[in-house]
Amino acid sequence: MAEYVFVPRKAPSLGVEASTALFPVRRVFCVGRNYSEHAREMGHDPDREPPFFFMKPADAVVAAEGEIAYPPLTDELHHEVELVVAIGKDGVDISPEKALGHVWGYGVGIDLTRRDIQAVAKKMGRPWDWAKGFDESAPCSKLRPVSAAGHPGKGSIWLKVNGEERQRGDLADQIWAVSEVISYASKSIALKAGDLIFTGTPAGVGALEQGDTVQAGIEGVGEIVFTVGKR
């Protein structure tokens, strides 16, 4: 019987609220510019663009607690608070009407972004991977199962840095609802149990510095707090 050439690392996972269980993370999809005001602050017209996706490595997902390292190669580490959808049922070409049946639960996540690297990539027509997919770039809360949270279609989403509010919006402001995002993604790839979808961020993204305390939350889903560590 074949053996691995070295011992495989443990699969990335997230905790589950009020449980010792773990949710194994398979892939991480992120929706770009899914709130009108954020799309405008990034210089785009939200009324003309269908949803688009980029990805982060599964092991970029870490618990949003304690200290998150400030990454190398950047002077513009930006925060983007997002509703995270945890997929619990496989599916391909899922209709919007059936999409929520594939959701296991929800969490509060931060899409950390090396904005200066992203700006260069955009200018040169290059992929965003180096700007989005670095180590610890997807801190996330414990997941709240649908059985506990239901499906949050509205409710405040916010982020503070050192007690000062930077971002605030409402899930109802999303251009593409969770059911539509799942349906759209599943027409291109097969969604599998363990996949996470970061569903976009409201306006107010900005820079983080070493030593900053980040607090964020989504009504009916949860809250997180962590500090930004050293480079």
Q: Where are the domains of the chain?
A: 14-228
Q: Give percent above pLDDT 90 in the chain.
A: 88
For the residues 110-116, what does the mean pLDDT come to?
98
| pLDDT tops 70 at residue 200 | yes
Q: How confident is the model at residue 71 (pLDDT cuts 50, 70, 90)?
A: very high
3 state SS for 91-144: ECCCCHHHHHHHEEEEEEEECCEEHHHHHHHHHHCCCCHHHHCCCCCEEECCEE
Looking at domain 14-228, does it have CATH number 3.90.850.10? yes
Cα–Cα distance for residue pair 68/135, rounded to 1 Å:
9
Give residue-wise pLDDT tens across range 136-162: 999 999 999 999 879 999 999 999 999
Provide the residue type at 110 as one letter.
Answer: I
For the residues 88-93, what does the mean pLDDT come to?
98
Give the strand order in the sheet containing 206-208: 113-114, 77-79, 206-208
pTM for the structure as a whole: 0.95
> pLDDT value at position 148?
85
> If DSSP codes are grouped into helix, strand and coil, which group holds residue 154?
coil
Nearest Cα residue to 82 out of 24, 20, 33:
33
